[in-house]
Amino acid sequence: MNANELQIVNYCHKSCTPLMNIMRLPKDEAFALAYEMAGRNRNITAFYRFVDFENYYPRRLKTDKLLYERFTELGGKPLQQHPLSFVLQGSDFLDNWFDRGIVTKIPLDRVASEQISFTYGDSMTVLEKEGGFTMLTKDMLLKAIADFDGTAEKFLADVADRYHYIEVQVWDDECLRV
């Protein structure tokens, strides 16, 4: 596999609309939607965060703020305050988490470098467990893969062994439209 074959993958439960972010809604609307979604999907893992949205919401706000700040420090030019979340090359872990719902795949090369960032693992989880996260730009990630002593597949597998996946933050929705 070479860099132009890499894809970013978004997972969405079948009762949701793909390529959306609840954090972009006004706070009252976000809480109302979270309450509704949690009620309609009680036994689906992906909605557990909405059951306790009072706790999730401020943690997500903090994480997104740090992601935004770090990305701009690295030269990114985010067009949104809250990114859309993807993973690099997919994740069976997340596919299961979203109950094998809607999967959207987009070639990595469709997204401009200044509109995409990467973290090893779920940014919020890693931030809370490790006190920070490693953020990479597209160029940094491609260099890390190229410099790795092994294949791109092995690089991704090594990251997955520790973090499950590489999270992708897309900061410009228009690049995702076909």
Mean pLDDT for 73-97 is 95
The confidence score (pLDDT) of residue 155 equals: 95
User: Given pLDDT bands bounded at 50, 70 and 90, which one contains residue 77?
Assistant: very high
Mean pLDDT for 3-29 is 92
pLDDT for residue 170 is more than 90 = yes
Mean pLDDT for 1-14 is 85
Q: What is the DSSP string of 103-161?
A: EEEEEGGGS-GGGEEEEES-HHHHHHHHSS--EEEHHHHHHHHHHSSS-HHHHHHHHHH
User: In this predicted model, what pLDDT tens digit does every residue of 28-70 receive, in sequence order?
Assistant: 999 999 999 988 888 887 788 898 999 999 999 999 999 999 9
Q: How would you list the strands of the sheet with 116-120, edge to edge? A: 102-107, 7-12, 84-88, 166-170, 116-120, 135-137
The percent of residues above 70 in pLDDT, for the chain, comes to: 97
- Give the helix, strand, coil percentages of the chain, each rounded to 5: 55, 15, 30
The confidence score (pLDDT) of residue 60 equals: 96
What global pTM score does this model have? 0.93
pLDDT for residue 178 is more than 80 = no
Q: What value does the mean pLDDT of the chain take?
A: 92
Classify 99 as helix, strand or coil: coil
Cβ atoms of 129 and 173 closer than 8 Å: no
CB atoms within 10 A of CB 14: 12
The confidence score (pLDDT) of residue 45 equals: 78
The DSSP bridge partners found for residue 5 are none
Amino acid letter, residue 151:
T
**Tokens in use for 154?**
């092995």
The confidence score (pLDDT) of residue 175 equals: 82
> To 5 degrees, how large is the angle CA 120–CA 80–CA 83?
30
User: In this predicted model, what pLDDT tens digit does every residue of 99-120 receive, in sequence order?
Assistant: 999 999 999 999 999 999 999 9
Instruction: Give the contacts of 110 (CB within 8 A, at least 6 positions apart).
Output: 175, 176
The confidence score (pLDDT) of residue 134 equals: 92
CB atoms within 10 A of CB 12: 16
User: Given pLDDT bands bounded at 50, 70 and 90, which one contains residue 144?
Assistant: very high
